[in-house]
Amino acid sequence: MPDLKKYDRILDALQHLLEDNPIQNISVSDIAKKAGIGKGSIYYYFPSKEAILDALVERNYEKPLKTAKNLALQTEISPFIRMAMILQACRSSSDAFLNQNNPSEDGAASAQDIAFLHQKYMNHLISELKPSLTEIISQGIASGDIHFDYPAALAEIVLIVLAVKLNNTFLSATAEDSEDTIRGLVSLLEKGTGVPQGALNYLTAPDPGLTM
């Protein structure tokens, strides 16, 4: 049975190494040395350095994504409120990404690392949240609250916009610009899904007042 403590030590080691080193300069040997374990032990848990990176991204955003997944089961809550909580989960994971991966002042390598990590972050965020958001939208369609024929496509569109705008890595924008984009997205959602105007106001609030 895998040793979960050793598994986390490997992820912790990579996290610490990323604070001071470009990704391309970090080897599996470096990770093993930092973790205080043999290089062969690394391959018992991970087939490659990239797999360790993927696992690190997954661990960093585990809590907000787990909360979002649980929302699909809470059918007693309005689908609009649950969509707002999905947005809050996006914001939480985006804040975590930005706080942990601020580029240093001394070079383009850091900017490249940020872009690389952000791609992994976006892939993970969208793939993990899409099934939950699709289910919530489908429940809203079944109850007559939402009128739309393609719930999975709608979920993906919403998540792509949120992941790009809330992270601010691909398209630099002020907080006001990002909020304007989200308000525009909400307006399109209202018009395209037959939702009464104002029903999605939870989605535009910087803090919807919902706990994660």
Tell whether 211 is covered by a domain.
no
Does one domain contain both 80 and 29?
A: no
User: CA 13, CA 176: separation in Å to the nearest integer?
Assistant: 37
Q: Could you tell me where the DSSP H helices lie in 144-174? A: 151-167
Higher pLDDT pick, 125 / 11: 11
Does one domain contain both 152 and 68?
A: yes
Proportion of the chain above pLDDT 90, given as a percent: 21
Tell whether 69 is covered by a domain.
yes
pLDDT in tens, 8-19: 999 999 988 988
Tell whether 47 is covered by a domain.
yes
Kindly state the tokens that stand for 140: 């809203």
Does one domain contain both 28 and 66?
A: no
Q: What CATH number is attached to the domain comprising 76?
A: 1.10.357
The structural domain count of the chain equals 2
Proportion of the chain above pLDDT 70, given as a percent: 75
Does one domain contain both 146 and 178?
A: yes
pLDDT on residue 35: 94
Tell whether 210 is covered by a domain.
no
Does one domain contain both 158 and 121?
A: yes
pLDDT on residue 208: 45
Question: Which residue range is the domain that position 37 belongs to?
Answer: 4-52
Q: At what angle do helices 108-143 and 62-71 cross, to 10 degrees?
A: 10
Does one domain contain both 118 and 35?
A: no
Does one domain contain both 137 and 74?
A: yes
Q: What CATH number is attached to the domain comprising 40?
A: 1.10.10.60
Q: At what angle do helices 28-35 and 49-60 cross, to 10 degrees?
A: 50
Banded model confidence at residue 52, pLDDT cuts 50, 70, 90: very high
Does one domain contain both 198 and 141?
A: yes
pLDDT on residue 11: 93
CA 58 to centroid of chain Cα atoms: 9
pLDDT on residue 163: 72
Banded model confidence at residue 20, pLDDT cuts 50, 70, 90: confident
Higher pLDDT pick, 178 / 146: 146
Kindly state the tokens that stand for 204: 């535009």
Tell whether 159 is covered by a domain.
yes
Tell whether 11 is covered by a domain.
yes
pLDDT in tens, 30-46: 999 999 999 998 999 99
Does one domain contain both 76 and 44?
A: no
Most confident of 79-88, 150-159, 173-182: 150-159
Whole-prediction pTM value?
0.71
Does one domain contain both 73 and 143?
A: yes
Tell whether 137 is covered by a domain.
yes
Does one domain contain both 78 and 176?
A: yes
